[in-house]
Amino acid sequence: MAEELFKDGKVSGIGEYLDGERHGRWTFYYRNGRIKADAGYSHGQLDGDCVWYREGGGLLQNGAFRDGQQDGFWQRRHSTGELMDEGTFDVGRKVGEWVTYSADGSETKRKTFK
């Protein structure tokens, strides 16, 4: 396992390198020690399921990458924890139906991307 550090010496990331590039699962941290993200890498590019958290705790967003681009189902959340929006990416582009929600959880918009 390798560690990446902030300038003050606190751990900013833990994971593995392959041929000098991030590879496999990586966990990133805020300066306060809380987890910022858990992300998959393949040969230096984001790849696989990834989850981001808010600095104060709680889920921010989750989704997947393929070859460094958003790919597959994604969700983002309001600071209240309620769903903000959800939909699918195909090689970095929004596709299909995306639904947006207000902070109280009620649906505010539906949009279809081709």
Contact in structure between 107 and 99 (CB atoms under 8 Å): yes
Exposure on the CB side of residue 112, measured as CA atoms within 13 A = 1
Q: 2-113: what fold?
A: 2.20.110
Contacts of 60 (CB under 8 A, 6+ apart): 52, 53, 54, 76, 77
- Tell me what pLDDT residue 39 has: 98
Model pTM score: 0.90
Contact in structure between 75 and 85 (CB atoms under 8 Å): yes
Query: Sorting pLDDT into bands at 50, 70 and 90, what band is 97?
Result: very high
- Tell me what pLDDT residue 16 has: 98
Domain boundaries, the chain: 2-113
- Tell me what pLDDT residue 42 has: 97
14-64 pLDDT, tens digit each? 999 999 999 999 999 999 999 999 999 999 999 999 999 999 999 999 999
